[in-house]
Amino acid sequence: MSIAIATEVLMPKLSDSMEEGTILSWLVPPGTEIVAGQDLLEVETDKANMTVAAEGSGALEILIEEGETVAVGIPIARLGSEGASAAAAESPTAAAAAEVPVPIPPSADESPVASSAVSVSGATRRSTPLARRLAEAHGIVIDSIETGSGIGGRVVKADVLIAAGMEPKSAVDTTPAPAPSRASEGTGVGAAATVETAKGGSRTVELSRLQTVIARRMAEAKATVPHFQVETEVRMDAAIDLRTQLKAVPGDDPAPSFNDMIIKAAALALREHPKANGSYVGGAFELHDRVNVGMAVAAEDALVVPTIFDADKKSLGEIGRDSRRLAGRVRAGAVTPPELAGGTFTVSNLGMFGMTAIYPVINPPQAAILGVGKTRSLLGLGADGEIEDVSLMTLTLSCDHRILYGAEAAEFLAAIRDLLESPLRVAL
């Protein structure tokens, strides 16, 4: 056998906070001749699922199997020539890859669903990583599920459990789910055996890697960041009038949303209050040159925060286009690491869900995060002292007390309020 020089493929660092990643799937079988730039594998990170392209060329030798979690910088594959290809062909990985249908041990009742073969790796329907793991555990072929209930028709956990007969098809049916088949025992994936207690039936659902990291980081933030909140009410009548006018302007793009206005107002205020745009790191203040506003987007079973870069320098229309594009990419699972990095401040808006106020948790190492509630109609005093209808929105600023103090936070939040109450300054 000839010996070839191989290039190691390392677990990449796909986000600022990434420490380790989980290999969800190899997109090409071992032994394949790879060219630089070709999509190689899908990795689950602390922020989202990412497709990783090859940086080199050569025959693929897989070192780390799908489902394994490894630290950043650890070799996960090699790209070589004939020697690497031969080694890959003789490896257990190559042998396993040749066996596409993997039989699943039958359940105790020998149900056809539990005993059918799995061909998840060959599935063409979009599905979540947890759904694919559950499908393997219960012998479900992803492509056999007619319609996924996730965003864009993606197959999610609930769809697989319904196909396996383990979850009611409607909220009206409250029959406890049966215990899983032997195929799922010991996998630590999805629903565990139903346990009857005074609380009724209970199921244990494993967190995805993204959910696990979010839970850990939020717990660390609450425990280690001394935080406080300041809150104000914003009269949104002028902003509502401005958006009505913008909607009447001819053009292909939709009018900017109220959230776009809030992002722009926050960006302009950040430019005038640099400590709110900074971080407390290693006993010192880091004041950032760029104003990059993160926008919290509710994705499937997680919260993802893509970044609008240089938001203080962009027009309201540009921010609107950026926010729509990024939200769509998050919900489609297509957001990339650069789109999630570099945020210096975050806006989290739950107003569209009818929440009147939100008290968000700071996203370290950022100095603050802005929570946005719904705009609601109330009775208030007009400029002439008469009672009139007014539209109020609650803004709550959560702050890291190590870098922002009470008066500074109040001045910063007041600046955002003043900009929204005089929205032409935001639109310019």
Catalytically active residues are 401
Return the beta strands (E) in 335-386 as ranges.
345-349, 368-381
CA 11 to chain centre: 20
CB 359 within 8 A of CB 230: no
C-alpha to C-alpha distance for 115 and 127, rounded to whole angstroms = 21
Contacts of 219 (CB under 8 A, 6+ apart): none
Element holding 393 (H helix, E strand): strand 387-400
C-alpha to C-alpha distance for 400 and 97, rounded to whole angstroms = 50
CA 196 to chain centre: 34
What is the C-alpha radius of gyration for the chain, rounded to an integer number of angstroms? 26
Computed from CA positions of residues 288, 290, 291, 292, in that sequence, does the dihedral angle turn out positive or negative? Answer: negative
CB atoms closer than 10 angstroms to residue 311: 29
Which residue matches tokens 């864009």? 152
Element holding 39 (H helix, E strand): strand 39-44
C-alpha to C-alpha distance for 182 and 201, rounded to whole angstroms = 20
Alpha-helical (H) ranges within 288-423 are: 316-331, 337-340, 406-421
C-alpha to C-alpha distance for 366 and 293, rounded to whole angstroms = 11
> How many residues in the chain?
428
Which residue matches tokens 């609008």? 308
Alpha-helical (H) ranges within 75-231 are: 82-90, 92-98, 112-115, 129-138, 157-163, 209-224
CA 45 to chain centre: 10
Element holding 146 (H helix, E strand): none
